[in-house]
Chain A
């Protein structure tokens, strides 16, 4: 069976660069260059492997952004995804997780996938509910926190992380699966892949194209707001010692003082 996989990806501000909230809206400032969220590289790799194993499937990326940024998508296309759908509309700025899920669900439905893969959460917003909201809106089952994914016939088999260990879960397709980091080793885009990515199709859609209105998504549809941002209590640095072969004694003394040993 040809497996057509949709992988949800997010383009985020570089997490290693200083970040800030917009004081007026309380939302994350996203006006710099955006990159592919590291967390999404695992989903892209997983999707590519499953599509390749199926013999003739392909990976479609689905993403949304308030601007037409595509640099993060090009990274995933360079890894081997066939094409991308980018819902790009200024009206999307300030969307909450549920609005995001509504947009993604509409876009995903267009690709008619056998399997939808997403990260367990994004690195910048880390709400962690969007993929399951997408599944509910699409009427699909979902298996979250996958640490191993295989497709066997018409079902996906997942080792799902639990508090105690893991559950082996079987789920008929189509389904939504969220993958943890480490599920697979993401490939580095090859030079050939990077060149090919430049000409791969990125279908840009507005919210109107998806049949959504400004009242349903973006700041207009958000029913939650940040009302204040303030500095947290600073924790002070304590004593720092340089190990000269006996630093472990200081650690033992510290633990003794706390009656841990």
Chain B
């Protein structure tokens, strides 16, 4: 049975589909003749034009979910649609906080497995094979589903390039959320946006990340300042997120974000495999670390063996002098 219909879970932010969704819709259009998307919240009507532009024909709009978390209501609406006989061959889900919640609940509801951390997909006859970086990206595992469809893949950001195809706006069809009991009982009381002056971490052209070598939470200020000077985003190794110096949203690596900027500057990061998998796809890598044997130097285009407390202040000063 060939791959005919692919759905994309079209998460939105600020009323527009997030960049990973456009990457997935582009990929879906290369996999199957029919591409359809699922939206919720404010992402539906406003998203139909841009989702259509990238190749989606239909948008299933779950609509307003109020102050609920998306996991339970969106997965229930999707499950109802699938159980009504509208079955895609493949469902692509962006690897985001809400995407993982929706995929997990949908998987349990439909009793179908889910494959996560996908970095590439290829259609091979009647099969879809997914690629995964393992052991810090040193090896690539290829996986496939062996059972019933839809096959649910949760895909990491930046796995594909988004490409507009000039398609007409997608047709919007409303879908209903069935009655839910306790599973939908969580309520968002308030939303807090942290101040972010620069670009988003996984969309930035320059990422400056800090690690344990910064010595303390205060040392991270240098990373933030350098990122700001380069119009980049500050990132972090797992070690300093675990230490509570910076929030989880800054984490680059296997259990955090994947970034592929033009330049990645690793400051005081040794380069554990956990970290390398999230950044070794960067076009250029600069590493500053005092341990010359640190694994980060094996992937760096420019390695500086030196103390971040000496190199960074001078670098910041030099860049300030130019601006």
CA distance A38 to B13 in the complex (A): 32
With known contacts A237-B300, A240-B303, A224–B115 Cβ distance under 8 A: yes
By the criterion CB–CB under 8 Å, are B302 and A144 in contact? Answer: no
Q: Decide yes or no whether A147 CB sits under 8 A from chain B.
A: yes
The proximity string for B residues 196-214 relative to A, scoring 1 for CB distances below 8 Å and 0 otherwise, is 1000100001100000000
Contacts of A248 in B (CB 8 A): 311-312, 314-315, 318
With known contacts A142-B101, A171-B187, A258–B284 Cβ distance under 8 A: yes
By the criterion CB–CB under 8 Å, are B311 and A228 in contact? Answer: no
With known contacts A168-B188, A182-B243, A135–B263 Cβ distance under 8 A: no
With known contacts A144-B100, A223-B145, A240-B292, A161–B137 Cβ distance under 8 A: no
* Best-surrounded residue of B75, B143, B147 (most CB of chain A within 10 A): B143
Q: Decide yes or no whether A172 CB sits under 8 A from chain B.
A: yes
By the criterion CB–CB under 8 Å, are A181 and B303 in contact? Answer: no
Q: How far is the CB of B128 from chain A (nearest CB, A)?
A: 11
With known contacts A243-B311, A260-B230, A175–B299 Cβ distance under 8 A: no
By the criterion CB–CB under 8 Å, are B244 and A137 in contact? Answer: no
Contacts of B230 in A (CB 8 A): 255, 260-261
Residues 139-183 of A contacting B (Cβ, < 8 Å): 139-145, 147, 160-172, 175, 180-182
Interface of A is mostly: mixed
User: Which among B30-38, B84-92, B248-256 touches the partner chain?
Assistant: B248-256
Q: Decide yes or no whether B107 CB sits under 8 A from chain A.
A: yes
Q: How far is the CB of A144 from chain B (nearest CB, A)?
A: 6
Query: How many of A's residues come within 8 Å of B, CB to CB?
Result: 81
User: Which among B46-54, B58-66, B167-175, B176-184 touches the partner chain?
Assistant: B176-184
Q: How far is the CB of B158 from chain A (nearest CB, A)?
A: 15
By the criterion CB–CB under 8 Å, are A227 and B129 in contact? Answer: yes
Q: Decide yes or no whether A24 CB sits under 8 A from chain B.
A: no
The proximity string for B residues 248-284 relative to A, scoring 1 for CB distances below 8 Å and 0 otherwise, is 1100001100000011010000000010000010001
Contacts of B115 in A (CB 8 A): 224
By the criterion CB–CB under 8 Å, are B139 and A238 in contact? Answer: no
CA distance A140 to B241 in the complex (A): 29
A-B contact pairs, 6 of them (CB 8 A): A26-B141, A132-B104, A169-B188, A182-B247, A229-B141, A245-B314
